[in-house]
């Protein structure tokens, strides 16, 4: 069977499943999630045997030690996967929520009701636990899913998806609820992108190359996360201690993620704060690259190139620029943002409010760490990704963000005149 046929089969099965999934009640779907969690535990051996095949293949093909470690499914990680499904089961159910309702003059009663999107295609390259997280969030939101994971984890993924689908079916969910594409060719990605009749939304998770390949081919809507060019502006009226603490946390707590700060703008009158921030960061091993004025103000830092201010380091490196005003900071932030997360540090409420209003990002902060942009921290529950798109959903994409709405209209003979 061709790659395209295999993808089409999986997607068609998901579409069929989605027709009934949307009207299965919240309790039954939550029960299925608990059953899926238990099935992961009960089938740990089966999953780990499949994982051992991936590990052996990875060693043969020369995967790095770090990659092999990401791939490995230890007993503890199996338990984490199961526990994550149980957490998703406990979340509030987003399906059927009445988002708004009103009655028009003719007496027609209109409700805007949250409903599942239908079929979600998820394309990922990362750890096998994404298979369970994605399936869990889709079941929680009443969606069927078509999963396409990376080649390194294909055996682990197929085992996980098989266990999850079996448990889902035993709990009364339809066949095709969790469909894993059994092939990992790049061709499978293209094929998914060309199936708007079966797939309603594609969520790609991975490097920029993957995401560009998806969006350039997609006839299916895509919800994507490009980059995290996270930025902070330290105003002239910043509290020095707070500024040091927040920049430190934003850069150092976990530098390899999208909401870690990459560009820092400092008001020219905040030289003392700047020096304190730099001293703290250098002590933490951060390399500072500064604009010419930064280099005049602080000793012992490297010059920043123009390119640095567009570079997502994902590492202990920070670009610093001195600005003359909030206006200039806003201009620079708009120029370099990826639309994910920005923060202002100031005691001046007017500056703060203008920053919060004018910076166009999924999450904007006053006097808090950029690292807080996270579905779990926000209280939205688990997330399937973080959207930097400007439609449907921005920021953390959890179960509620995998729903859309329909208008449910109850009448007694209303017509158009």
Interacting residue with a second copy among 70, 97, 276, 378 (CB under 8 A): 378
Interacting residue with a second copy among 133, 394, 397, 399 (CB under 8 A): 394
> What is the signed CA dihedral for 218, 221, 223, 228, rounded to 10 degrees?
50
Interacting residue with a second copy among 242, 271, 276, 316 (CB under 8 A): 242
Residue owning tokens 């095949």:
53
Please return the burial class of 293, using the count of CB atoms within 10 Å of its CB with bins 0-12, 13-18 and 19+: middle
Under rule CB under 8 A, residue 310 binds a second copy: no
Under rule CB under 8 A, residue 325 binds a second copy: no
CA distance 386 to 226: 9
Under rule CB under 8 A, residue 373 binds a second copy: yes
Positions 187 through 206 that interact with a second copy (CB under 8 A): 196, 200-201
Cβ proximity to a second copy: between 50 and 363 the closer is: 363
Shortest reach from residue 232's CB to a second copy, in Å: 13
Under rule CB under 8 A, residue 281 binds a second copy: no
Shortest reach from residue 303's CB to a second copy, in Å: 28
Residue owning tokens 């640095």:
308
Under rule CB under 8 A, residue 175 binds a second copy: no
Nearest partner of 78 among 55, 48, 52, 53, judged by Cα: 48
Neighbours of 24 (CB within 10 A): 19
Which residues fall within 8 angstroms of residue 24, CB to CB, at 6 or more apart? 142, 172, 173
Of 37-45, 154-162, 268-276, 399-407, which segment contacts a second copy by CB under 8 A?
399-407
Cβ proximity to a second copy: between 63 and 108 the closer is: 108
Cβ proximity to a second copy: between 76 and 216 the closer is: 216
What does the buried/exposed string (b/e) look like for 127-162 if buried means 16 or more CB atoms within 10 Å of the residue's CB? bbbbbbbbbbbbbbbbbbbbbbbbebbbbbbbbbbb
What is the Cβ-side half-sphere exposure of residue 169, based on CA atoms within 13 angstroms? 12
Under rule CB under 8 A, residue 357 binds a second copy: yes
- Strand ordering across the sheet containing 230-234: 302-303, 287-290, 317-323, 261-267, 230-234, 341-345
Under rule CB under 8 A, residue 313 binds a second copy: no
Under rule CB under 8 A, residue 391 binds a second copy: yes
Shortest reach from residue 410's CB to a second copy, in Å: 5
Under rule CB under 8 A, residue 356 binds a second copy: yes
Query: Binding pattern to a second copy, positions 95-114, x when CB under 8 A?
Result: -------x-x---x-x----
Interacting residue with a second copy among 362, 384, 386, 399 (CB under 8 A): 362
Under rule CB under 8 A, residue 144 binds a second copy: no
DSSP letter (8 states) at residue 222: B
- Dmax over CA atoms of the chain, in Å, equals 78
Under rule CB under 8 A, residue 34 binds a second copy: no
Residue owning tokens 């889902």:
168
Under rule CB under 8 A, residue 271 binds a second copy: no
- DSSP character string of 323-360: ESSHHHHHHHHHHH--SSEEEEE-S-HHHHHHHHHH--
Give the DSSP H/E element, type plus range, for residue 262. Answer: strand 261-267
Cβ proximity to a second copy: between 157 and 341 the closer is: 341
Which parts of this chain interact with a second copy (CB under 8 A)?
19, 22-23, 102, 104, 108, 110, 115, 117-118, 196, 200-201, 215-216, 219, 221-223, 242, 245-246, 249, 253-254, 334, 352, 356-358, 360-369, 371-374, 377-379, 389-392, 394-395, 404-417
């Amino acid at each position: 069977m061709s790659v395209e046929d295999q993808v089409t089969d999986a997607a068609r099965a998901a579409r069929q499943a989605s027709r009934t999934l949307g009207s299965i009640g919240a309790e039954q779907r939550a029960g299925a999630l608990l059953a899926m969690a238990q099935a992961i535990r009960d089938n740990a051996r089966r999953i780990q045997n499949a994982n051992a095949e991936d590990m052996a293949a990875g060693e043969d093909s020369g995967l790095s030690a770090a990659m092999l470690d990401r791939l490995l499914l230890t007993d503890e990680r199996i338990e984490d996967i199961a526990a994550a499904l149980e957490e998703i089961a406990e979340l509030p159910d987003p399906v059927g929520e009445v988002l708004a309702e009103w009655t028009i003059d003719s007496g027609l009663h209109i409700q805007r009701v949250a409903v599942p999107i239908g079929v979600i295609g998820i394309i990922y390259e990362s750890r096998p636990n994404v298979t369970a997280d994605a399936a869990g969030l889709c079941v929680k939101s009443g969606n069927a899913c078509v999963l396409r994971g990376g080649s390194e984890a294909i055996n682990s993924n197929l085992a996980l998806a098989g266990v999850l689908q079996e448990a889902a079916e035993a709990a009364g969910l339809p066949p095709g609820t969790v469909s894993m594409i059994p092939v990992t060719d790049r061709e499978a990605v293209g094929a998914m992108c060309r199936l708007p009749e079966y797939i309603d939304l594609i969520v790609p998770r991975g490097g920029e190359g993957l995401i560009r390949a998806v969006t350039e081919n997609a006839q299916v809507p895509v919800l994507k996360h490009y980059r995290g060019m996270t930025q902070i502006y330290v105003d002239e009226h910043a509290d020095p201690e707070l500024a040091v603490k927040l920049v430190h946390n934003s850069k150092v707590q976990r530098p390899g993620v999208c909401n870690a700060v990459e560009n820092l703008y400092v008001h020219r009158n905040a030289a003392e704060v700047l020096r304190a921030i730099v001293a703290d960061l250098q002590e933490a091993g951060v390399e500072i690259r500064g604009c010419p004025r930064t280099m005049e103000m602080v000793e012992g830092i490297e010059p920043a190139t123009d390119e640095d201010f567009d570079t997502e380091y994902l590492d202990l490196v920070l670009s610093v620029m001195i600005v003359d005003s909030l206006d200039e900071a806003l201009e620079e932030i708009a120029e370099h943002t990826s639309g994910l997360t920005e923060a202002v540090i100031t005691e001046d409420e007017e500056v703060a409010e203008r920053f919060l209003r004018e910076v166009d990002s999924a999450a904007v902060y006053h006097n808090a760490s950029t690292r807080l942009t996270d579905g779990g921290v926000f209280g939205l529950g688990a997330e399937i990704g973080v959207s930097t798109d400007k439609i449907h959903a921005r920021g953390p994409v959890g179960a509620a963000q995998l729903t859309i709405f329909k208008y449910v209209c109850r009448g007694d003979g209303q017509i158009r005149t």
